[in-house]
Structure 1
Amino acid sequence: MTFIIAISATASILMFRRWADFASKSVLEITQVQSLMPRLASLEDRAISIQKVDAKLKQDLQDTKSRSTILLKDIAAELIEITAGEERARVRDLQSSYQTYIDGLERQFAMMEQGDFEGAESIDNKVVDPAYERLDRLLSYYSNRAMIIAQQKSQQADIGTIVTILTAAMGISWAIHKLGQATKLSEIALAEQKILQASEEVLKQERELLESRVLERTQELDDKNQILSQTIDQLHATQADLIESEKMGALGHLVAGIAHEINTPLGAIQASTGNMTKALEESTRQLPEIVQRLTPQQQDDFFGLLDRVLRSKAPLTSSEKRPLKRALTQELETYDLENSRQLADRLVEMGCLAKGSAIYPSAEISGRAVVIASNL
């Protein structure tokens, strides 16, 4: 922001200086025109006094008129640049008065060349002299006005210069302050970089130490693995000897067990037959009472269940029973039975859910079997 203000102030100073230069130049050029006007008047008086217009007089008139015309054109352009409003409009009056004066002067000299000095004197009194006086007044006014404008613009430029210097000083001070901050930040960054480098060096040393320890431990593990491998080989050899000895001992036990099993199966079969007969008699005795307690629908379900038990094939293995028990337990729990797990175990052991060689949890059969199994 400070630099923007300084740039704006500099632009204003340059503008004020330009206007002051225009005003000063206008003062100088007005002075030159004011010095040329008496010369034009003297040429006019000389022609009237000698009653002729010679070549030299005519050339002097042309040179003086050309020079004053150029000067007045520059003056008008400069005054238009540094004035405004009514003053700018009066600049056009200055141009008009000058043109009237020059036109009257040319007419006067043209009459004098033709020998009409009385007519020339009449134009001098009616046109040239009034235009001369008006032009002189306007030149004097704009000379003073240009001097005032030059002083004002110079003062404004000086004030702008002071403001610019102060602004520049503030900007420089701000820049120095920022530079100081940047220097401090650079110092902090440098210090942090040194700390980081030191930390990296410490980490490097620790990494090297860790790598050396890893190598040592790796070597120790290799040595222990070699010892362990040798020990395992020895154990394998010992194990082979023990297995051979165990085989011979197991063979002896097997021969003795086979002899025992050959002698005892009939007794086991007879004992199981007795238990099964007793259980069947007890179930047959309780069957009429159980059937009377069942509804007709439950009786159909009950006999259907017995039919499935009688038609069930070979018993399932433990691994086959476990998933069936879990599935049936979850299904029975939907009926809010406290002994769902026991009922599921019993139904699976009975094989009542067997269909062919596959066990399946049928919602239609298992849902009704809950009531029947509860009365068994």
Structure 2
Amino acid sequence: MSDRILTTHVGSLPRSKDVTDLVFAQERGEAVDPAQFDAVIGAAVDDAVQRQVEAGIDLVSDGEMSKISYATYIKDRITGFDGDSPRTPPKDLEMFPSFLERQAKGGGTPTYRRPKCVGPIAVKSMEPLEADLAHMVAAMVKHQPGGGFMNSASPGVIALFQPNEHYATQDAYLEALAEAMRPEYEAIVAAGLLLQLDSPDLGLGWHMMYKDRSEAEYLRLIGGHVEALNHALRNVPADRVRMHVCWGNYEGPHCCDVEMGVILPTLMTAKPAGLLFETSNPRHQADWTYFAEMAHLIPEDKILIPGVIDSTTNFIEHPRVVAERIERYAGIIGRERVIAGTDCGFSTFAGFGVVDPSIVWAKLKTLAEGAALASERLWRGVAA
């Protein structure tokens, strides 16, 4: 970051049919040959890392190949989850029921199981994580990216999608989740990877989990989410962790999204040094103004990773647009503290993705091109 803008993304990438078929078969409880599963996932991770490197991405991921989703995968790793939970649509989609119905009929609503907490939370098995780490490290050794990260669910997002029916209080539930996830967080960093905590609950929670709460009450509640997260990270250096915050990776009105200016002070109290956030979709393009107005609240050790590519549209952004978005944030906190990212993942749920897989790779390539253009301007004074 001393002489150019680095590139990364939020994590999930398109999965092949072979991967999706195996992940869903496993989800349905069908017999899946462990050796076949390991071979297919390993090959998919290798391919994903190679494609990211070829596209010009510096900090790469495994694409979350082995996971059915970024939050519910934990049922295979920690105890206490079973059954299914009712679906609660975001508040903005409730306001436009015809659009909600169209989404459901068009296959835009994933139908996989979302278990609820019905018993004590504890570590069940580290084997799935160990397999993920082995695949990722092997792919990095082979393809030599600038660095790598691995996604992991935050305590708050687990609680968002898997409601508590066991613990006496929500705080007790979050505390148990934090302690059970702590070994995963520490193992990812010990493997030499950056840990990315997916925490959409801090934005999405306003119009899903806490949709009837006041703004003050909401801030108090997500403050508890951040406190639990920080406690789980007590043995992990801040500069080895980044946190992703978003308002839901779906095309929709988003007119009920909590304003970035409201939650930014709370986000700055989270331990992770890096913050990934949306700033390309139409609802959040102006959020840079909040960062400009509140720059004094951003600690000097924080790294901003704005989403300069939209993850819900098949438009391929022009490199000049990408560069302009990067430069806005560089002008606020300095060029050495900005990494170019994406608004969200491109395959948040296995088998579901609005952006065509071939276009995903084209969008990542234009992300790298835009970062290179911004670097020319920011370091070498090349005119636009």
The structure having more radius of gyration, on CA atoms, is 1
Larger proportion of strand: 2
Bigger RCO (CA 8 Å, 6+ sep): 2
Select the structure that is richer in helix.
Answer: 1
Q: Aligning the two structures, in what range does the TM-score lie when normalised by the shorter sequence?
A: under 0.3
